Chain A
Amino acid sequence: QQPVQSPQAVILREGEDAVINCSSSKALYSVHWYRQKHGEAPVFLMILLKGGEQKGHEKISASFNEKKQQSSLYLTASQLSYSGTYFCGLQYGKLIFGQGTELSVKP
């Protein structure tokens, strides 16, 4: 079952913060986050495992809430380079991606 991401799209000004959520109807064991810029391949950001801690990557971090069956990606003090489509992926024997969240950061 495909995870559900929200919002589908978000527009930010440089320096603003954003949160992208990824929800599943099934229990979560691991969550991947990837960013894909237009015309490029998806790039790995981070992976969170059940029972693991919140992860961080520059000003991008993520959390894993087992009870809510949800992961959230936090982008703080956004930069122009953060623009792209963000995908979460849930591992159920194979990695299934959410539908994506398109993030645009404007000057």
Chain B
Amino acid sequence: DTEVTQTPKHLVMGMTNKKSLKCEQHMGHRAMYWYKQKAKKPPELMFVYSYEKLSINESVPSRFSPECPNSSLLNLHLHALQPEDSALYLCASSQIGGEEEKLFFGSGTQLSVL
């Protein structure tokens, strides 16, 4: 199984809503990532978890709250988002170290904030 599964695929939410994005992998990867991608732009790193601990937070606003309940799951909790947060949110996973650090991406959640 070389898949990273993200749900939901599409999400529309209002600025006062609370929602969560979910990501799952069963490749035994110990690093998991959240990226944000705007149209025609590269993915921008938001958070990195290594061995279920938050290792990188790219100064992301607190309205985005990541969670890694176990080595296979990654969540992104959303609260009081702004319209400019509308984007494709990609989850990825990888091994840790050297040539094995290639990223496997999920197909993403297309988020629209109204």
Residues of chain A lying within 8 A (CB to CB) of residue B7 = none
Q: Does B69 contact A (CB under 8 A)?
A: no
- Flag if B98 contacts A95 (CB, 8 Å): no
Interface size on B, residues (CB 8 A): 20
Contact B48 A49, beta carbon cutoff 8 Å: no
Q: Mark B96-111, 1 if CB is under 8 A from A, else 0.
A: 0011011111111000
- Interface residues of A, count at CB 8 A: 22
8 Å CB contact of A40 from B102, B103, B107: B107
Asked if A43 contacts B43 (CB within 8 A), the reply is no
Q: How far is the CB of B93 from chain A (nearest CB, A)?
A: 11
Q: Per-residue CB proximity of B38-69 to A under 8 Å, as 1/0?
A: 00111111001000000010100000000000
Asked if A94 meets B102 with Cβ closer than 8 Å, knowing A42-B43, A99-B42, the reply is: no
Q: Is the CB of B101 within 8 A of A94?
A: no
The answer, yes or no, to whether B90 is at the interface (CB within 8 Å) is: yes
User: Is A97 part of the contact surface with B, judged by Cβ < 8 Å?
Assistant: yes
- Residues in chain A near residue B105, CB distance under 8 A: 41-43
Question: Which residues of A (32-49) have their CB < 8 Å from a CB of B?
Answer: 32, 34, 40-44, 47, 49
Contacts of A89 in B (CB 8 A): 103
B90 touches A41 (CB 8 A): yes
Chain A's closest residue to B43 (CB) is: A97
| CB of A65 within 8 Å of the partner chain | no
For A96, list chain B residues within 8 Å (CB).
45
A42 to B103, CA, bound (A): 9
Most buried by B among A32, A41, A96, A99: A41
Q: Give A64-107 as 1s and 0s: 1 = Cβ < 8 Å from B's Cβ atoms.
A: 00000000000000000000000101010111111110000000
Q: Chain B's nearest CB lies how many Å from the CB of A39?
A: 9
Which of A40, A42, A94 contacts B56, CB < 8 Å? A94
Name the residue among B45, B58, B103 with the largest chain A CB count within 10 angstroms: B103
Interface residues of B, Cβ cutoff 8 Å to A: 40-45, 48, 56, 58, 90, 98-99, 101-108
